[in-house]
Amino acid sequence: MQDAPVICAIVLAAGLSRRMGAQKLLLPFGGSTVIAHVVDRVLASVVAHTCVVVGRDGEAVAAALAGRAISIVTNPEDNSEMLDSVRCGLRALPAECGAVLVALGDQPGVSAPLIDEMAAAQRASGKGIVVPAWEGKRGHPLLFAICYRDEVFESYDQTGLRGLLCEHPDDVCEHRVAVPWALADMDTPEDYRRALAALGGIPCAPRDGALEP
């Protein structure tokens, strides 16, 4: 049996949160913040190294993650696409990385068991790409073998990582999740309220400028 690949995570945290009206990653969630909640779940999984890609609010996001065993990478382009942040993260991953988990910083439904299940599905299926799905709808986090690294750098400017899945359908394993909110991210205040209700993320005292639930 082959050794399990070293899995490294890229957590995307460079968004501007325009539709939320406040920096959504710093909203209260589960006694901390949205971004801390997500990163803590990644750190509790089989992931060996975690890189958080930040943007304009990078100092505040990094402060919310203080004391955690992560690396912080800055995407210098405020209006760049998600794929640009993925590429920033890829450049920062260690040489021993064998598979890449791309997680969204605004997806509080992600869990360590889900990530571990995806890693196990990759090993069991022999597929290079694993994507979670609910009733046929795919979402994040996305796990792909490091052999696709150069392809992600060179392609998919118009489609993002969806293009990777479309280009290699025979190398994709869909991992079915048990509940739809496991794949839900947050763009609006209503999304935030739904996440709080679904996940029991009772808010702590909000930071300055944070949206009240």
- Please return the burial class of 66, using the count of CB atoms within 10 Å of its CB with bins 0-12, 13-18 and 19+: exposed
CB atoms within 10 A of CB 167: 15
Q: What angle do the packed helices 34-43 and 112-125 form, to 10 degrees?
A: 40
Confidence grade of residue 201 (pLDDT, cut at 50, 70, 90): low
**pTM of this prediction?**
0.90
For residues 95, 92, 45, 121, the Cα torsion angle rounded to the nearest 10 degrees is -60
Averaged confidence pLDDT in the chain: 90
Lookup: tokens for 187: 């763009």
Q: Is the pLDDT of residue 49 over 90?
A: yes
- For residue 2, the model assigns a pLDDT of 56
DSSP string, 170-188: GGEEEEE-SSGGGG----S
- For residue 132, the model assigns a pLDDT of 95
Q: Is the pLDDT of residue 129 over 70?
A: yes
What does CATH list as the number for 7-195?
Answer: 3.90.550.10
Query: Token match 């589960």: residue?
Result: 30
Q: Strand 129-134 relative to strand 137-138: parallel, antiparallel, unpaired? A: antiparallel
Q: How many residues does the chain have?
A: 213
More confident of the two residues 159 and 208: 159
Q: Is the pLDDT of residue 1 over 80?
A: no
DSSP state, 75? -
Name residues whose C-beta falls within 8 Å of residue 2's C-beta, 6 or more positions apart in sequence.
Answer: 123
Tell me the pLDDT tens digit for each residue of 6-33: 999 999 999 877 778 788 999 999 889 9
CA dist 121 and 126 (Å) reads: 8
- For residue 62, the model assigns a pLDDT of 97
Q: List helix spans (H) across 55-148.
A: 58-64, 82-92, 112-125
